[in-house]
Amino acid sequence: MSKVTVIGAGNVGATCANVLAHKDIVKEVVLLDIVGNLAKGKALDSWQQAPIDYYSTHLVGTDDYAATADSDIVVITAGVPRKPGMSRDDLISTNAKIVNSVTESIMKHSSNPIIIVVSNPLDVMTYASWKSSGLDSSRVMGMAGILDTARYRAFLAEALNVSPKDIQAVLMGGHGDTMVPLPRYTTVSGIPLTELLDSETIEKIVNRTRVGGGELVQLMGTSAWYAPGAAAAQMVETILKDEHRIFPCCVRLSGEYGLDNIFLGVPVKLGKNGIEQIIELSLNEQEMKLLKESAEHVAAVRDVFDNMSL
Protein backbone atom coordinates (compact mmCIF):
# COMPACT_ATOMS: atom_id res chain seq x y z
CA MET A 1 0.00 0.00 0.00
CA SER A 2 1.22 3.42 -0.82
CA LYS A 3 1.58 6.92 0.48
CA VAL A 4 0.15 9.92 -1.33
CA THR A 5 0.65 13.57 -0.39
CA VAL A 6 -1.72 16.33 -1.42
CA ILE A 7 -0.26 19.83 -1.14
CA GLY A 8 -2.90 22.50 -0.53
CA ALA A 9 -5.84 21.69 1.71
CA GLY A 10 -8.21 24.12 0.03
CA ASN A 11 -11.20 23.23 -2.09
CA VAL A 12 -9.44 21.07 -4.68
CA GLY A 13 -6.82 19.49 -2.40
CA ALA A 14 -9.24 18.50 0.34
CA THR A 15 -11.66 17.06 -2.24
CA CYS A 16 -8.87 15.08 -3.90
CA ALA A 17 -7.72 13.66 -0.53
CA ASN A 18 -11.29 12.75 0.42
CA VAL A 19 -12.11 11.08 -2.91
CA LEU A 20 -8.82 9.19 -2.74
CA ALA A 21 -9.56 7.95 0.78
CA HIS A 22 -12.92 6.64 -0.44
CA LYS A 23 -11.16 4.52 -3.07
CA ASP A 24 -9.40 2.66 -0.22
CA ILE A 25 -6.26 1.97 -2.26
CA VAL A 26 -3.76 4.07 -0.30
CA LYS A 27 -2.35 3.38 3.16
CA GLU A 28 -1.90 7.04 4.04
CA VAL A 29 -2.87 10.38 2.56
CA VAL A 30 -0.91 13.36 3.88
CA LEU A 31 -2.67 16.68 3.41
CA LEU A 32 -0.28 19.62 3.73
CA ASP A 33 -1.10 23.31 3.74
CA ILE A 34 0.80 26.43 4.65
CA VAL A 35 -2.16 26.99 6.98
CA GLY A 36 -1.39 23.98 9.16
CA ASN A 37 -4.61 23.85 11.14
CA LEU A 38 -6.68 23.85 7.96
CA ALA A 39 -4.90 20.70 6.75
CA LYS A 40 -5.12 19.11 10.21
CA GLY A 41 -8.83 19.88 10.50
CA LYS A 42 -9.77 18.64 7.03
CA ALA A 43 -7.70 15.46 7.38
CA LEU A 44 -9.27 14.75 10.77
CA ASP A 45 -12.77 15.35 9.39
CA SER A 46 -12.08 12.97 6.47
CA TRP A 47 -10.62 10.34 8.80
CA GLN A 48 -13.77 10.54 10.93
CA GLN A 49 -15.78 9.76 7.78
CA ALA A 50 -13.93 6.42 7.44
CA PRO A 51 -16.10 4.41 9.87
CA ILE A 52 -19.22 5.69 8.06
CA ASP A 53 -18.08 5.16 4.49
CA TYR A 54 -15.92 2.11 5.21
CA TYR A 55 -12.37 2.86 4.21
CA SER A 56 -9.05 2.21 5.92
CA THR A 57 -6.97 4.98 4.35
CA HIS A 58 -5.50 7.04 7.15
CA LEU A 59 -5.43 10.81 6.65
CA VAL A 60 -2.87 13.09 8.25
CA GLY A 61 -2.95 16.88 8.15
CA THR A 62 0.23 18.93 8.55
CA ASP A 63 2.27 21.99 7.65
CA ASP A 64 5.56 20.08 7.97
CA TYR A 65 7.15 18.52 4.87
CA ALA A 66 8.85 15.89 7.05
CA ALA A 67 5.45 14.16 7.22
CA THR A 68 5.48 13.78 3.41
CA ALA A 69 8.68 11.67 3.45
CA ASP A 70 8.83 8.85 0.90
CA SER A 71 5.59 9.69 -0.87
CA ASP A 72 4.90 7.63 -3.96
CA ILE A 73 2.75 10.34 -5.53
CA VAL A 74 2.40 14.04 -4.72
CA VAL A 75 -0.55 16.09 -5.97
CA ILE A 76 0.08 19.85 -6.01
CA THR A 77 -3.04 22.00 -5.60
CA ALA A 78 -1.38 24.85 -3.69
CA GLY A 79 -1.95 28.32 -5.05
CA VAL A 80 -4.65 30.88 -5.56
CA PRO A 81 -7.79 30.12 -7.58
CA ARG A 82 -9.42 32.41 -10.14
CA LYS A 83 -11.93 35.12 -9.30
CA PRO A 84 -14.58 36.28 -11.78
CA GLY A 85 -13.04 38.13 -14.72
CA MET A 86 -9.62 36.48 -14.36
CA SER A 87 -8.06 34.04 -16.79
CA ARG A 88 -5.95 31.15 -15.48
CA ASP A 89 -2.91 32.91 -16.91
CA ASP A 90 -3.48 35.85 -14.55
CA LEU A 91 -2.49 33.57 -11.65
CA ILE A 92 1.06 33.03 -12.88
CA SER A 93 2.95 35.53 -10.75
CA THR A 94 1.55 34.19 -7.48
CA ASN A 95 1.32 30.51 -8.31
CA ALA A 96 4.74 30.17 -9.99
CA LYS A 97 6.50 31.07 -6.73
CA ILE A 98 4.26 28.72 -4.75
CA VAL A 99 4.66 25.76 -7.13
CA ASN A 100 8.44 26.21 -7.25
CA SER A 101 8.88 26.33 -3.50
CA VAL A 102 6.42 23.46 -2.93
CA THR A 103 8.26 21.26 -5.45
CA GLU A 104 11.63 22.01 -3.85
CA SER A 105 10.27 21.09 -0.43
CA ILE A 106 8.73 17.86 -1.73
CA MET A 107 12.02 16.79 -3.31
CA LYS A 108 13.87 17.22 -0.01
CA HIS A 109 11.79 14.41 1.49
CA SER A 110 10.86 12.07 -1.39
CA SER A 111 13.57 10.91 -3.78
CA ASN A 112 11.60 9.80 -6.83
CA PRO A 113 7.91 10.65 -6.51
CA ILE A 114 5.41 11.03 -9.32
CA ILE A 115 4.06 14.59 -9.28
CA ILE A 116 0.59 15.56 -10.49
CA VAL A 117 0.09 19.31 -10.79
CA VAL A 118 -3.36 20.91 -10.53
CA SER A 119 -2.41 24.55 -9.82
CA ASN A 120 -3.06 27.05 -12.62
CA PRO A 121 -2.05 28.14 -15.19
CA LEU A 122 -1.83 24.38 -15.43
CA ASP A 123 0.44 23.71 -18.39
CA VAL A 124 3.07 26.19 -17.27
CA MET A 125 2.85 25.21 -13.59
CA THR A 126 3.50 21.60 -14.63
CA TYR A 127 6.56 22.77 -16.57
CA ALA A 128 7.67 24.77 -13.51
CA SER A 129 7.33 21.77 -11.22
CA TRP A 130 9.19 19.50 -13.66
CA LYS A 131 12.04 22.01 -13.91
CA SER A 132 12.48 22.50 -10.18
CA SER A 133 12.02 18.80 -9.36
CA GLY A 134 14.81 17.48 -11.59
CA LEU A 135 12.60 14.41 -12.18
CA ASP A 136 12.33 12.53 -15.45
CA SER A 137 9.53 14.02 -17.52
CA SER A 138 7.61 10.72 -17.39
CA ARG A 139 7.08 11.41 -13.65
CA VAL A 140 5.66 14.96 -13.78
CA MET A 141 2.25 15.60 -15.32
CA GLY A 142 -0.65 17.99 -15.07
CA MET A 143 -4.31 17.26 -14.44
CA ALA A 144 -6.51 19.07 -16.92
CA GLY A 145 -7.65 16.74 -19.69
CA ILE A 146 -9.68 14.44 -17.46
CA LEU A 147 -11.53 17.46 -16.09
CA ASP A 148 -12.03 19.13 -19.45
CA THR A 149 -13.26 15.93 -21.10
CA ALA A 150 -15.52 15.29 -18.10
CA ARG A 151 -17.13 18.68 -18.64
CA TYR A 152 -17.51 17.97 -22.35
CA ARG A 153 -18.92 14.49 -21.63
CA ALA A 154 -21.36 15.84 -19.04
CA PHE A 155 -22.68 18.45 -21.51
CA LEU A 156 -23.03 15.78 -24.21
CA ALA A 157 -24.83 13.40 -21.85
CA GLU A 158 -27.38 16.10 -21.12
CA ALA A 159 -27.89 16.98 -24.79
CA LEU A 160 -28.31 13.32 -25.76
CA ASN A 161 -30.23 12.30 -22.62
CA VAL A 162 -27.85 9.36 -22.07
CA SER A 163 -25.67 8.29 -19.18
CA PRO A 164 -22.37 10.17 -18.95
CA LYS A 165 -20.77 6.73 -18.38
CA ASP A 166 -21.23 5.89 -22.05
CA ILE A 167 -19.47 8.92 -23.49
CA GLN A 168 -15.83 8.50 -24.40
CA ALA A 169 -13.90 11.49 -25.59
CA VAL A 170 -10.49 12.94 -26.11
CA LEU A 171 -9.46 16.55 -25.97
CA MET A 172 -6.07 18.13 -26.50
CA GLY A 173 -4.12 21.33 -26.02
CA GLY A 174 -3.70 23.74 -23.14
CA HIS A 175 -5.99 24.01 -20.10
CA GLY A 176 -7.60 27.24 -21.20
CA ASP A 177 -10.01 28.66 -23.69
CA THR A 178 -7.80 27.42 -26.56
CA MET A 179 -8.28 23.74 -25.62
CA VAL A 180 -9.20 21.47 -28.53
CA PRO A 181 -12.14 19.09 -27.96
CA LEU A 182 -12.20 16.46 -30.74
CA PRO A 183 -15.75 15.51 -31.83
CA ARG A 184 -14.24 13.18 -34.46
CA TYR A 185 -12.75 11.14 -31.61
CA THR A 186 -15.89 11.20 -29.43
CA THR A 187 -18.18 8.17 -29.20
CA VAL A 188 -21.33 7.18 -27.35
CA SER A 189 -20.86 3.50 -26.53
CA GLY A 190 -18.81 3.13 -29.69
CA ILE A 191 -21.23 5.13 -31.89
CA PRO A 192 -19.50 8.18 -33.41
CA LEU A 193 -20.92 11.36 -31.87
CA THR A 194 -21.31 12.81 -35.34
CA GLU A 195 -24.00 10.14 -36.05
CA LEU A 196 -26.07 11.29 -33.09
CA LEU A 197 -25.81 15.08 -32.90
CA ASP A 198 -25.89 17.79 -35.56
CA SER A 199 -22.77 19.88 -36.07
CA GLU A 200 -24.36 23.06 -34.73
CA THR A 201 -25.18 21.44 -31.37
CA ILE A 202 -21.71 19.87 -31.20
CA GLU A 203 -20.12 23.25 -31.88
CA LYS A 204 -22.15 24.87 -29.07
CA ILE A 205 -21.03 22.15 -26.63
CA VAL A 206 -17.40 22.45 -27.73
CA ASN A 207 -17.53 26.20 -27.11
CA ARG A 208 -19.19 25.76 -23.71
CA THR A 209 -16.49 23.22 -22.77
CA ARG A 210 -13.70 25.66 -23.66
CA VAL A 211 -15.02 28.15 -21.11
CA GLY A 212 -16.41 25.49 -18.74
CA GLY A 213 -14.12 26.54 -15.89
CA GLY A 214 -15.07 30.20 -16.32
CA GLU A 215 -18.78 29.34 -16.17
CA LEU A 216 -18.23 27.91 -12.69
CA VAL A 217 -16.09 30.86 -11.56
CA GLN A 218 -18.96 33.15 -12.56
CA LEU A 219 -21.45 31.04 -10.61
CA MET A 220 -19.42 30.59 -7.44
CA GLY A 221 -16.94 33.46 -7.28
CA THR A 222 -14.09 30.92 -7.16
CA SER A 223 -13.03 27.98 -9.29
CA ALA A 224 -14.44 24.46 -9.18
CA TRP A 225 -13.36 21.62 -6.89
CA TYR A 226 -15.53 18.46 -7.03
CA ALA A 227 -14.64 17.43 -10.59
CA PRO A 228 -11.03 18.72 -10.40
CA GLY A 229 -10.37 16.90 -7.11
CA ALA A 230 -11.92 13.67 -8.40
CA ALA A 231 -9.98 13.91 -11.67
CA ALA A 232 -6.65 14.17 -9.85
CA ALA A 233 -7.65 11.21 -7.64
CA GLN A 234 -8.44 9.19 -10.78
CA MET A 235 -4.91 9.78 -12.08
CA VAL A 236 -3.49 8.63 -8.73
CA GLU A 237 -5.61 5.48 -8.83
CA THR A 238 -4.59 4.60 -12.38
CA ILE A 239 -0.91 4.98 -11.53
CA LEU A 240 -1.04 3.08 -8.24
CA LYS A 241 -3.01 0.21 -9.77
CA ASP A 242 -0.77 0.25 -12.87
CA GLU A 243 -3.97 0.16 -14.92
CA HIS A 244 -2.58 1.49 -18.19
CA ARG A 245 -5.68 3.59 -18.74
CA ILE A 246 -5.59 6.22 -21.46
CA PHE A 247 -6.40 9.77 -20.43
CA PRO A 248 -5.61 13.19 -21.79
CA CYS A 249 -2.93 14.62 -19.47
CA CYS A 250 -0.59 17.55 -19.59
CA VAL A 251 2.85 16.11 -20.40
CA ARG A 252 6.17 17.19 -21.85
CA LEU A 253 6.30 16.82 -25.62
CA SER A 254 9.61 16.12 -27.35
CA GLY A 255 8.70 16.14 -31.01
CA GLU A 256 5.24 14.54 -30.78
CA TYR A 257 2.70 16.46 -32.87
CA GLY A 258 5.67 18.50 -34.16
CA LEU A 259 5.97 20.22 -30.75
CA ASP A 260 9.04 20.37 -28.57
CA ASN A 261 9.91 21.30 -24.98
CA ILE A 262 6.35 22.21 -24.09
CA PHE A 263 3.92 20.77 -21.56
CA LEU A 264 0.54 20.32 -23.25
CA GLY A 265 -2.54 18.11 -23.02
CA VAL A 266 -2.38 14.96 -25.17
CA PRO A 267 -3.67 11.40 -24.73
CA VAL A 268 -1.26 9.23 -22.72
CA LYS A 269 -1.11 5.80 -21.15
CA LEU A 270 -0.73 5.99 -17.36
CA GLY A 271 0.85 3.25 -15.28
CA LYS A 272 3.12 2.64 -12.32
CA ASN A 273 6.00 4.49 -13.98
CA GLY A 274 3.90 7.55 -14.70
CA ILE A 275 3.53 8.41 -18.37
CA GLU A 276 4.21 5.12 -20.11
CA GLN A 277 3.30 6.24 -23.61
CA ILE A 278 2.31 9.39 -25.45
CA ILE A 279 -0.30 8.55 -28.05
CA GLU A 280 -0.04 10.35 -31.37
CA LEU A 281 -3.43 10.64 -33.02
CA SER A 282 -3.67 11.50 -36.65
CA LEU A 283 -5.22 14.95 -36.73
CA ASN A 284 -6.77 16.61 -39.75
CA GLU A 285 -5.63 20.02 -40.92
CA GLN A 286 -8.15 21.99 -38.86
CA GLU A 287 -7.50 19.99 -35.65
CA MET A 288 -3.74 20.41 -36.08
CA LYS A 289 -4.17 24.14 -36.65
CA LEU A 290 -6.15 24.48 -33.40
CA LEU A 291 -3.58 22.40 -31.49
CA LYS A 292 -0.73 24.57 -32.78
CA GLU A 293 -2.62 27.74 -31.80
CA SER A 294 -3.17 26.34 -28.32
CA ALA A 295 0.52 25.40 -28.06
CA GLU A 296 1.53 28.91 -29.12
CA HIS A 297 -0.64 30.37 -26.38
CA VAL A 298 0.89 28.06 -23.74
CA ALA A 299 4.41 28.79 -25.05
CA ALA A 300 3.81 32.52 -24.60
CA VAL A 301 2.82 32.00 -20.95
CA ARG A 302 5.80 29.66 -20.49
CA ASP A 303 8.09 32.42 -21.79
CA VAL A 304 6.60 34.81 -19.21
CA PHE A 305 7.47 32.22 -16.56
CA ASP A 306 10.98 31.68 -17.92
CA ASN A 307 11.60 35.44 -17.76
CA MET A 308 10.39 35.77 -14.17
CA SER A 309 13.13 36.10 -11.59
CA LEU A 310 12.01 33.60 -8.97
Q: What are the residue numbers of the active site?
A: 175
Q: Kindly state whether residue 79 participates in binding ligand APR, applying the rule CB under 6 A.
A: yes
* Interface with ligand APR (CB under 6 A), residue from 38, 73, 188, 251: 38
Determine if 62 is a binding residue for ligand APR (CB under 6 A): no
- Residue number of the CB closest to ligand APR reads 10
Cβ within 8 Å of residue 58, ≥6 positions away: 27, 28, 29, 47
- The residue among 102 and 278 lying less far from ligand APR, judged by its C-beta, is 102
How many residues bind to ligand APR according to rule CB under 6 A? 28
- Among the listed ranges 7-15, 43-51, 129-137, 176-184, the one in contact with ligand APR (CB under 6 A) is 7-15
- Type of residue at 24: D
Q: Does 78 bind ligand APR (CB under 6 A)?
A: yes
Any contact of residue 10 with ligand APR (CB under 6 A)?
yes
Question: By CB under 6 A, which span of 32-40, 64-72, 201-209, 277-285 interacts with ligand APR?
Answer: 32-40
Burial 163-199 (b: 16+ CB within 10 A, else e): eeeebebbbbbbbbbbbbbbbebbbbeeeebeebbee
Alpha carbon distance 50, 304 (integer Å):
44
* CB 172, CB 267: distance < 8 Å: yes
Q: What one-letter code names the amino acid at 174?
A: G
How many other CB atoms are found less than 10 A from the CB of residue 139?
18
Give the Å distances, CA to CA, from 61 to 6, 33, 109, 263.
Answer: 10, 8, 16, 31
Stretch in the footprint of ligand APR (CB under 6 A) among 11-19, 107-115, 241-249, 269-277: 11-19
| Alpha-carbon gap, residue 253 to 240, rounded angstroms | 23
Asked if 150 is part of the footprint of ligand APR (rule: CB under 6 A), the reply reads no
Does the footprint of ligand APR cover residue 33 (CB under 6 A)?
A: yes
Question: Does 211 engage in binding with ligand APR (CB under 6 A)?
Answer: no
Using CB under 6 A, which of 6, 20, 75, 118 touches ligand APR? Answer: 118
Strand order in the sheet with 73-76: 58-62, 26-32, 2-7, 73-76, 114-117, 140-142, 245-254, 260-271, 274-278
CB of 147 to ligand APR, least distance (A): 9
Segment (H or E) for 155: helix 145-160
Q: Which is nearer to ligand APR, 46 or 119 (CB)?
A: 119
Which residue from 1, 35, 191, 310 is in contact with ligand APR, where contact means CB under 6 A? 35
Residues that bind ligand APR (CB under 6 A): 7-13, 33-35, 38, 77-79, 81-82, 91, 95, 98, 101-102, 118-120, 222-223, 225, 228
